[in-house]
């Protein structure tokens, strides 16, 4: 499909979705809002599949992969350090910081497990 045609379809989809959401909020039907958003997302994905334009090459993909890996590593290191500092401050006399520290440390653990899981999945899919 051409870019102009896709843009028109996306605009029509956005207008219909906005009308449905406003109408459902006005009449208090929250389930219809959720269904409309999910349907709009599905239709948007179908429209995206029809798009034949080239968005990037292998170099751009490699740069995105490396930046995502560096971002994930930096974020995990940062929240781990902040979590440890909060736990240390809680043990030093500042009360109420342990729950925040443990939350950050647990989220770091979840991110590490997710990274490991997706790494295993992609190694199986692409070999290596």
CA–CA separation, 1 vs 18, rounded Å?
24
pLDDT at 92: 86
Rounded to whole angstroms, the Cα distance separating 17 from 30 reads: 14
Question: Can you give the pLDDT at residue 1?
Answer: 56
Residue 5: CA atoms inside 13 Å, Cβ hemisphere, count? 8
Nearest by Cα to 51 from 6, 101, 87, 13? 6
Low-confidence ranges of the chain (pLDDT < 70): 1, 53-55, 128
- If you search the block for the tokens 């219909």, which residue do you land on? 16
Q: Distance between CA 107 and CA 59 in Å, rounded?
A: 32
Q: What is the pLDDT of residue 128?
A: 66
112: which 2 tokens?
Answer: 């590490």
């Amino acid at each position: 499909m051409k870019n102009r045609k896709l843009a028109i379809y996306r605009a029509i989809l956005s207008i219909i979705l906005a009308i449905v959401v406003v109408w459902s909020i006005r009449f208090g039907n929250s389930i219809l809002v959720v269904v409309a958003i999910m349907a709009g997302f599905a239709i948007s994905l179908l429209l995206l599949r029809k798009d034949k334009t080239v968005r990037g090459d292998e170099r751009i993909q490699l740069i995105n992969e490396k930046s995502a890996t560096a971002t994930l590593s930096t974020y995990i290191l940062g929240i781990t350090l902040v979590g440890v500092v909060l736990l240390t401050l809680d043990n030093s006399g500042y009360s109420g910081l342990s729950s925040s520290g443990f939350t950050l440390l647990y989220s770091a653990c979840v991110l590490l497990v997710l990274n490991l899981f997706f790494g295993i999945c992609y190694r199986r899919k692409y070999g290596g």
